[in-house]
Amino acid sequence: MSIQQTSTGKFIDGEEVIAIELTNSKGTCVEVLNYGAIINKFTVKNAKGSLQDIVLGFDDLEQYVNAAYLENNPHIGAVIGRYANRIKDGKFSIGNEDYQLIKNTGTDSIHGGVIGFDRKFWTIVDSEADNQSIVTLEYESVDGEEGFPGNLIVALTFELTENDELILTYEAETDKATAVNLTHHDYFNLAPGGGRIDKHKLQIFASNYLEQDENYCVTGKIIPVENTPFDFRTEKEVSRDWNPEEGYDQTFVLDKIYGDLTLASKTFEDESGLVLSVYTTEPVAHVYTSKYLRVKNGKGGRDYDAFDAICIETQHHPNAVNIEKFPSTVLQPEDLYTQTTIFKISNYK
């Protein structure tokens, strides 16, 4: 097990981008950046014994702030906060206080606003290499940032284990009641040569999904997956039942006891023989097959296009701050926000 911090020689907004490499004895390596808490690389050994990188990202880190990239910011590999997914009309109330956020997707707010946690520098507060490969990053979001109340301190720990598990542990505290819903927006592709993920196989341990309006914002209605294209309770090709022009951009309600760490999904790819298992304490997983992905000059000079990756975004119910029956996303000053999500890689061939 090892951990190494390296200057990338790149500066964003005058601050130096540091790459933290977590490595285990099997050769699995995860590169985390202090900018956006981005997972820029996740290199694993496939069933053929070859190393391959299973996440989208950039060789040239300045691409993360390229104007064309930011125009339709896909949040590649980054942490999302303060609030994952959409908040209807960009507004919510806590007690007698009303809050208006910046609307950055039509009439709604998405992924924390115009400059969310994905575009912030995170402080490297702790790292361990003695038989462990762990790093903790921290960010303080000030009262009023993007319209959210309260000073919020977030700590995000990345741990790579000998079992090829990347464990993400989140903690957050606030000095004023605020809305919090964190996730990580990794674009996975398990095929050795990349390309479209149509033939990836997917299993989601969810009997229900959340209805969305025409702007993809959750309405509050819960719908059974049975006899719908959203039934992934049994493994099937991602593209088997999808609308080929839309793919999937949907939130699934996991079959679990709220707060327990359980298996949310499994993604398989035949050529590599890899399986990605996602475990989480969160109640839902949002599955996005990257319909809107249009990125130039990714790793190896590759352009990334629609349906070139799949995202499994573990979180609380989107728009829950406006839907009382959903698990609360309001954090009080006396409470501690906690969440754990695990990305585990293994071979099934």
Q: DSSP of 204-257, one letter per residue?
A: E-EEEEEEE-TTS-EEEEEEE-TTSTT--SS-EETTSSS-TTT--EEEEEESS-
User: Is 313 annotated in the active site?
Assistant: yes
User: Is 316 annotated in the active site?
Assistant: no
75, 111, 185, 316: the catalytic one is 185
Pairing of strands 236-237, 201-204: antiparallel
Residue 90 in tokens: 């960009």
21, 269, 282, 313: the catalytic one is 313
DSSP 197: -
Looking at residue 210, its amino acid is: L
Cβ-contact 84, 78 below 8 angstroms: no
Closest-CA residue to 321 (of 331, 313, 336, 335): 331
Residues 70 and 192: their CA atoms lie apart, in Å, by 28
Residues 154 and 141: their CA atoms lie apart, in Å, by 8
DSSP 283: S
DSSP 65: G
Contacts 24+ apart (CB under 8 A), 16-20: 17/61, 18/124, 20/124, 20/127, 20/135, 20/158
Catalytic residues, which ones?
Answer: 185, 313
